[in-house]
Amino acid sequence: MKGAEALLKALEREGVEVIFGHPGGAIMPVYDALYDSPIRHILVRHEQGGIHAATGYARASGRVGVVMATSGPGALNLVTGLADAFMDSTPVVAITGNVPRALIGTDAFQEADVTGVTMPITKHNYLVQEVNDIPRVVREAFHIASTGRPGPVLIDLPKDVQLSEFTGTFQVELDLPGYKPTTKGHPKQIERALDALEKAERPVLMVGGGAQHAHGELLAFAEKTGIPVITTLMGLGAFPGNHPLWLGMPGMHGTVAANRAIHHADLILAIGLRFDDRVTGKVSRFAPHAHTIIHVDIDPAEIGKLVRTHVPIVGDARSVLREMLKGAKPLKLASWWRQLEEWRTRHPLRWKPRPHLQSQEVIRAFAEATGGHAIVTTGVGQHQMFAAQFFPVTRARSFITSGGLGTMGVGLPFAIGAKVARPEELVIDFDGDGSFQMTLQELATVVKYKLDVKVVILNNGYLGMVRQWQDLFHAKRYSEVYLADSNPDFARLAEAYGIKGVRVERKEDLMKGVEAVLNADGPVVAEFKVYHEEGVFPMIPAGGAAEDMILEHPEEREEVEA
Amino acid sequence: MRHVISVLVQDHPRVLNRITSLFARRGFNLESLAVGTTHVPGLSRISLVVSGDDHTLEQVEKQLNRLIEVLKVTDHSEPHVERELVLAKVHVAGVEERLAVKDIQEAFRARVVDVAQKSLILELTGDSKKIDSFIEALRPYGILEVMRTGAVAMSRGERTLKVREKREAV
């Protein structure tokens, strides 16, 4: 058995069923072995599409996503996707070929120091020097990627190692003396947290992506205590978006109710989130009345990194919530809820109706037509925020977006990965005309594997989020954001790939368009030409605080807010 | 504030690279770094001198601990022994200078490890402050070269950088 076959055997032993990838010279022995392997391979058109698809697969399934690429340029095309997976704590294993060991460090053809380059954006990485190390390295890589705070791990495999005769064993013991994540929360701290919670008058529960797997416990805990729940962009779906205890998303484009709740809260119970600046705004003005902040996170380095923490609990969200559930009592929050209800009913998410078709109503129409029952992926930009605001997902692992890195172009490959992971689900990619064009070549992957994904492009002819910032903070100097003069006809582009194309330009055709997308038998690319100068509101300007929230465009304000 | 940190790591390729790149990208201020093997095969020990406030130091420790190959991190706030080695090559123009340098050598209990016609190499071990003063004392005579190792540190008494209960202390 050659090293390449040993690699695939080791992957099989980890339960890998599918690899997203693109072949090339330095990984060819593995692709040769793949020819006889039961592992399915999805050929993407760009390695970036491959890693985003693996990320989408991992996010939708909770399992480790696997991507493969060749050395040098192939491996370096993974960089953005690795950083994206790292920022959003996604378990991904990337396998890259490298030049033969004898050529490493000689500036050989297609050589790059991939382990060096990816060091800051992976949880760990390996350069395999000995063929018999392959099973151990694969075992460790999957263990590291999927346990503790999940993250991407890269395995770089020189070509001659892939071709060497494997004489080792697959029976390997994990021996990682420096890696022992704490999963069980400290009982004393949990007790302190429960005591503080019981005394709190205005508590809020903030939930991030680290609690996606704890949705059952979260629901039980919230319902038992009656605490209001806020989910971050990464936490969307971890708590049902149609639940009466849910206040929405916090932060820059969060709801008034969520942001005011945090601003006025006397206690914050934060679970599986890292207090990103898009959530906190200016940290020194974040939650000024919270005399108790309880932070539950599996990564000790996140606790106290940005926000002062009074009760730190290092542990897995699910395990900690189970423990907390045992001692939790119904809280007396009637007057707090009266206040929250007032904010919620007075300032719901809304948009200013215009004669033109609008992104918000397109997303709302899809949400209503599907009952929120779909896996939503998004690119990055205004459409992403509109999707987060107006498509309230009800189930965990159903809102897949690039939170930390904000990577444009992830929407389509995320959708591909999600569809491969959960083929029975309806998968909708809400994308922007700018974002979609960063990875649109993956339409070929959609065609090749007959993946039934629905791509909904909200085409406003602009890099809309940049335009919005230029509008508000750069005196409307719209520098290099206009796309409409050079955008393709997206419906015809889809047709060129053999995919059904839909175009909707007028408000009155909205429902017809939604039905055309949802009733299509197979993949669709639908272009909705939306109002070109829409802004995402509410908005807290970067570096602002909850009190600085802008509810609508300053020039369109009708009433002065109290 | 200045802190001396000991880090016990698995002796793998690139582990030092992981540590230094962590300091670079998180903006931690690394003043010195000294690495060497231990008596346990496969384990190395690193001494770092870092400056920063309590919050920074907490992050330094936590971020170091996140690295898979890092087994143990200790901030030496407790009584500890700290040493640094320096080699200093000094220009000595004539007999008078040679005698003066010899006075400094004796005062600091340094050793002469190389003698040439117009230069001497002196060796000194001590804490970093002592080394600083030594170099300042030599400066008027014309320092040709200085090589410092960076501080190494160890806790006093029974305290050790333990890995596991079963494994030998390092």
Measured CA to CA, the distance from residue A144 to residue A137 in angstroms comes to: 10
Query: Which pLDDT tens digit goes with each residue over A478-507?
Result: 999 999 999 999 999 999 999 999 999 999
* pLDDT in the model for residue A558: 61
* pLDDT in the model for residue B170: 46
Measured between beta carbons, which residues in chain A are less than 8 angstroms from residue B63? 301
Query: Which pLDDT tens digit goes with each residue over A311-328?
Result: 999 999 999 999 999 999
Q: How far is residue A200 from each of residues A203, B16, B151, measured CA to CA in Å? A: 6, 47, 49
Q: How far is A281 from chain B (nearest CA, A)?
A: 20
What pTM, to 2 d.p., does this model score?
0.96
* B166 and chain A in contact, CB less than 8 A: no
> Mean per-residue pLDDT for A80-97?
98
> Mean per-residue pLDDT for A195-220?
98
DSSP string, chain B: -EEEEEEEEE--TTHHHHHHHHHHHHT-EEEEEEEEE-SSTTEEEEEEEEE--HHHHHHHHHHHHHSTTEEEEEE--SSEEEEEEEEEEEE--SHHHHHHHHHHHHHHT-EEEEE-SSEEEEEEEE-HHHHHHHHHHHGGG-EEEEEE---EEEESTT------SSSPP-
> Mean per-residue pLDDT for A116-135?
98
Question: A556 falls in which pLDDT band (50, 70, 90)?
Answer: confident
* pLDDT in the model for residue B168: 43
Q: Which residues pair with B2 in a beta bridge?
A: B51
Q: Look at residue A283 and tell me whether its pLDDT is greater than 50.
A: yes
Positive/negative CA dihedral, A198, A200, A204, A208: negative
CB contact under 8 Å between A178 and B63, yes or no, is no
Q: Look at residue A550 and tell me whether its pLDDT is greater than 80.
A: yes
Q: Tell which residue, A294, A260, A302, A259, has the closest CA to residue A278.
A: A259
User: In chain A, which residue's Cα lies nearest the Cα of B26?
Assistant: A120
Q: What is the largest CA-CA distance in chain A?
A: 76
> What average pLDDT does chain B have?
93
Query: Which pLDDT tens digit goes with each residue over A519-534?
Result: 999 999 999 999 999 9
Question: A67 falls in which pLDDT band (50, 70, 90)?
Answer: very high
Q: Which member of A9, A86, A142, A159 is catalytic? A: A159
Q: Look at residue A470 and tell me whether its pLDDT is greater than 70.
A: yes
Q: Which residues pair with A376 in a beta bridge?
A: A399, A428
Question: B164 falls in which pLDDT band (50, 70, 90)?
Answer: low
Measured CA to CA, the distance from residue A249 to residue A558 in angstroms comes to: 25
**CA-based end-to-end distance of chain A:** 74
CB contact under 8 Å between B68 and A124, yes or no, is yes
Q: Look at residue B84 and tell me whether its pLDDT is greater than 90.
A: yes
Measured CA to CA, the distance from residue A489 to residue B98 in angstroms comes to: 85
Q: Tell which residue, A464, A231, A482, A201, has the closest CA to residue A339.
A: A201
Kindly state the percentage of chain A with pLDDT values over 70. 99
Say how many residues make up chain A: 562
Local structure of A507: helix, strand or coil? helix
Q: Tell which residue, A13, B25, A205, has the closest CA to residue A5.
A: A13
* pLDDT in the model for residue A505: 97
Query: Which pLDDT tens digit goes with each residue over B29-74?
Result: 999 999 999 999 999 999 999 999 999 999 999 999 999 999 999 9
Q: How far is B166 from chain A (nearest CA, A)?
A: 12
Q: Look at residue B159 and tell me whether its pLDDT is greater than 90.
A: no
Measured CA to CA, the distance from residue A363 to residue B87 in angstroms comes to: 70
* Cβ neighbours around A506 below 10 Å, total: 12
What is the interface pTM, i.e. ipTM, of the complex?
A: 0.92
- Residues in Cβ contact with A11 at an 8 Å cutoff, skipping those fewer than 6 apart: A19, A39, A66, A138
> Mean per-residue pLDDT for B78-83?
94
Amino acid at A416: I
Interface test with A, best of B19, B23, B68 (most A CBs within 10 A): B68
Measured CA to CA, the distance from residue A514 to residue A535 in angstroms comes to: 23
Q: Look at residue A560 and tell me whether its pLDDT is greater than 60.
A: no
> Mean per-residue pLDDT for A352-377?
97
> Mean per-residue pLDDT for B4-25?
95
Q: Report the Cα A107 to chain-centroid distance in Å.
A: 36
CB contact at 8 A, A465 and A381: yes
Measured CA to CA, the distance from residue A510 to residue A13 in angstroms comes to: 48
Kindly state the percentage of chain A with pLDDT values over 90. 98
